[in-house]
Amino acid sequence: MKPKNTYKAVVIGASAGGLDALSRLLGAIPFGFKLPIMVVQHLSPHSDNYLAQHLDNLSKYTVKEAEEKEAIKSHTVYIAPPNYHLMVEENFTLSLSVDEKVNYARPSLDVLFETAAFAYGKSLICIVLTGANNDGSKGALTIKKNGGLVIIQDPETAYVKTMPESVLSLLKPDYSISIEKMPEILMSLVK
């Protein structure tokens, strides 16, 4: 029998329709889920910190904008600040970058996913939600190649299905499900 994987972190990416998708997902994850969560939502470079404040009001966790060299802690959701790539360092701290846009986006899902894949390896859970481009698909593939687990929003339930479908074009995700089923799956993966 295959030993159960011990997951240590979750990365989530979203674009068009992401505010609603993230609100529904993060608002429904029970308090018993302790893994840190790092989120990239494509935003205008001039956005304020409304996303973090809004999600903090809905969630049972601390939701905050990620800060440079911040240690990753359980029970916390880290949001990529507008116009910064969010990266995970191998010492499990966060870093921010204003490097060139990736897939026309800064922050980019691929940047977060790839750096998290190298830091966490098989201990990482990746979730790709609604979105209108292919950002995140290469990063999800990197996570899968490093032994991590990939969940996509069922494209038929997404506000815009391009992003989850682009993941499907590169790999077979472990789960393709509606947002409503994700909290239960996440809880089952960490018990």
88: left (phi over 0), alpha (psi -120 to 50) or beta: beta
User: What does the angle CA 156 – CA 179 – CA 62 come to, to the nearest 5 degrees?
Assistant: 150
User: Residue 4 has what pLDDT?
Assistant: 60
DSSP states along 66-134? --TTPBP-TTEEEEPPTT-EEEE-TTSBEEEE-PPPBTTBSS-HHHHHHHHHHHHGGGEEEEE---SS-
Segments of the chain with pLDDT less than 70: 1-4
Catalytic residue at 44? no
User: Residue 72 has what pLDDT?
Assistant: 98
Q: Which is catalytic among the residues 85, 108, 135, 137?
A: 135
104: which 2 tokens? 């026309």
User: Residue 47 has what pLDDT?
Assistant: 85
Q: Which is catalytic among the residues 42, 85, 108, 110?
A: 42
Q: H/E element holding 10?
A: strand 9-14
User: Residue 2 has what pLDDT?
Assistant: 43
User: Residue 45 has what pLDDT?
Assistant: 84
Q: Which is catalytic among the residues 15, 108, 137, 176?
A: 15
User: Residue 1 has what pLDDT?
Assistant: 39
User: Residue 191 has what pLDDT?
Assistant: 80
Catalytic residue at 42? yes
Catalytic residue at 75? no
